[in-house]
Amino acid sequence: MLDINNNHLIITYGASDPITTIAGYIASGHNTGNWNGPGIISSAALTNPSGLLYGIGYADGNDHVVTGLTSGQIEVAYTLLGDANLDGLVNGSDFNILAANFNQSITGWDQGDFNYDGLVNASDFNELAANFNQGVSGAASAGDIAALDAFAAANGLSLPTSSVPEPASTFLFGVLALGGLLQVRRSRRLGRA
Amino acid sequence: MTKSRLALSSAAIFGAGLCWLPNLSAQVAIYNADPTPNRPNGSGGQYGNPYDQLVSVAITTGYEDIQANSTAVPANAVTAPAIFIEINVNSTSDITSGSQWYCDYDLAMETIPGAGLVTTPSNVSNAYAKAVGISTGENYFINGFNDKGTAPSTTGGNQVYNYSSGAWSQVAGVGQSNYVATTTTITTTSITYGIPLADLGLSVGNSFTFDAYSTYGGLPYDALDNTAFAPTGYNPYSGASTYYDSATEPGSTLATYTVATPTLSWNNSFAAAGYNDGVTWDTNDTAKYNWNNGFYADYYVDGSNVVFNDVNNATSNGGTNSSAYNVTLNTTVNPGSVTVNNSLGNYTISGAGGKIADAGAFVKSGTGTLTLGTALSVGSMSITA
């Protein structure tokens, strides 16, 4: 096992893009959330500091999602679930990536597949929503929250509440707003599959 | 004959009476003076060299050593990739005379097969005013010497000659000027001299042959000139020199070596002691011989292929350092590749500001874990467990 703990690594490859292999290492190491399988693991991801959900994100420079990551490079990083662009934040930018690929068989963390199952679906949305606005030093914008809410409503998604962290003072407003939104969402859940 | 282990990367046999290689795999050996040479005493002493100490080699790094018993690699090894040759002698008297030190040893090399085109052992003049009788195509010879000085002296030098167009010419020097690109270190029982690879027409990845190895010195105090230094049965030579030649020395043959990218294995079998601090991976630090280059303890230089395994590290596998698997990396290193194969312990590489950058390949195998506390950038990655 390669345990990246809370670090990151860069693979600068040649003609052949090894992203499938790397994704396989991570999925194998993830081992349905136990992070103890052969491959790439993160012991730090098991601890969920501050109640947040962490994992190993990865991105291929060819996807042009991560700022500064060029074609021919792969980045693997310990980060928040939902942080599609590996900037350490879970915000509207990440949500937009997920939304664009939602319900598609698109693989890749940087495409919104945060649980390594080869799909971008409600499970990934839930992980993103649970960490939404984390890592951000400020309140989530009203627009981001509205977009998230609308997306959930449009897709019949149940916004998670149990994983919503205790708000830090610096972005208290945003999280409270999201929490309120979640409550509203529960009350008017459409129940669509 | 006193002999120590030797590591040759290819088969090499030196004269039976000259030295003996019991194992011709990749080992270096140093042969001390033979007190009872069983070779004939040739007129002029071409067969009479009892000081066939050298001989070593396994140019594994391109930065250092042909030495085996040296305790430290000269600092300039890291500033100019070089071959360092250490010659160990039997005793102080081999290289001293009273308060003065005299030492003159030489190595003939063939860096490009046939390039020298020295076809006969007859004397061929060179700028050093020595008659050199090296045969069979050598294109370089290195003369390491210490003319005079108060012991211990470091006033010696090296001279390198290249054979071309029917004559020897000195490289990077004129006449008898010392070859100053590297420092010659002389102790009571050894002389070490270093030659930059470039001045031998070599670079990392090249191979060379080194053929004859001889002692010889400038007048009037050659190590072999003085009968007081000569062992029983040796007829010391004085005057113009004739190098003995592996082609004519009974039982001798050529040895070929490759200047290759080094492979260094993390080797912390012992906790901090001497040149081994037991924990630190840093660069060009001659105080931290925490690696093994396949022959003996070494320090890390960028570009090396590094291996982290269980050999000499696991307490159940020869190690005595319980912290051997904890590697402190506080700086950026640029290894050629990183191979981690551990099953008997879990490696941790961590440190403030540490980074493994631009490594070519990363390979992880074995059932143990490698935990990175530092950033890593590689060219490829393979994880098999």
Contacts of A47 in chain B (CB under 8 A): none
Q: Alpha-carbon torsion B120, B121, B122, B127, what sign?
A: positive
Residue B323 is predicted with a pLDDT of 75
Considering only CB atoms, A3 lies closest to which of B369, B375, B384, namely B369
Do B229 and B99 sit in the same domain of this protein? yes
User: In A, which residues are within 8 Å of B371 by CB distance?
Assistant: 3-5, 43
Buried b / exposed e along A50-68 (16+ C-beta atoms within 10 A): eebbbbbbbbbbebebbee
ipTM of the complex: 0.70
Average pLDDT, chain B: 54
Q: What is the mean pLDDT of residues B185-198?
A: 57
Among the listed residues A119, A115, A137, A143, the one whose alpha carbon sits nearest the alpha carbon of residue A127 = A115
Each residue of B54-82: pLDDT tens digit?
Answer: 223 322 222 222 222 222 233 333 334 55
Q: Least CA distance to A3: which residue of chain B?
A: B371
Residue B33 DSSP one-character state? P
Task: Report, as an integer, the average pLDDT of B171-189.
Answer: 46
Q: Domain limits at B276?
A: 263-383
When scoring B340, B350, B371 by the number of chain A Cβ atoms within 10 A, the one with the most, hence best to mutate, is B371
Q: Is A151 helix (H, G, I), strand (E, B) or coil?
A: helix
Alpha helices in chain A (DSSP H): 19-30, 92-101, 122-130, 142-155, 172-187
Q: Is B118 part of any domain?
A: yes
SS3 of B227-250: the string is CCCCCCCCCCCCCCCCCCCCCCCC
- Pick the range with the lowest mean pLDDT from A145-149, B73-77, B277-281: B73-77
pLDDT digits (tens, 9 = 90+) for B226-236: 333 332 222 33
How many Cα atoms occupy the beta-carbon half-sphere of A182 within 13 Å? 19
Q: What are A81-104's pLDDT values in tens digits?
A: 999 999 999 999 999 999 999 998
pLDDT by residue (tens digit) across B285-337? 767 778 876 655 677 888 888 999 988 777 766 666 767 889 999 999 999 89
Asked if B291 and B252 sit in the same domain, the reply is no
B204 shares a domain with B92 = yes
Decide if pLDDT at A117 tops 50.
Answer: yes
> Which among B371, B373, B376 has CB closest to A9?
B376
Domain count within chain A? 1
What is the mean predicted confidence (pLDDT) over A70-78? 92
A82: containing domain: 2-187
Count: domains in chain B:
2
- Residue B149 domain-assigned? yes
Which chain A residues contact residue B376 at CB under 8 A? 4, 7-10
Q: Is residue A193 part of a domain?
A: no
Nearest chain B residue to A37, by CA: B385
Output B117 or B289, whichever has higher pLDDT.
Answer: B289
Lowest mean pLDDT among A39-43, A71-75, B101-105, B114-118: B101-105
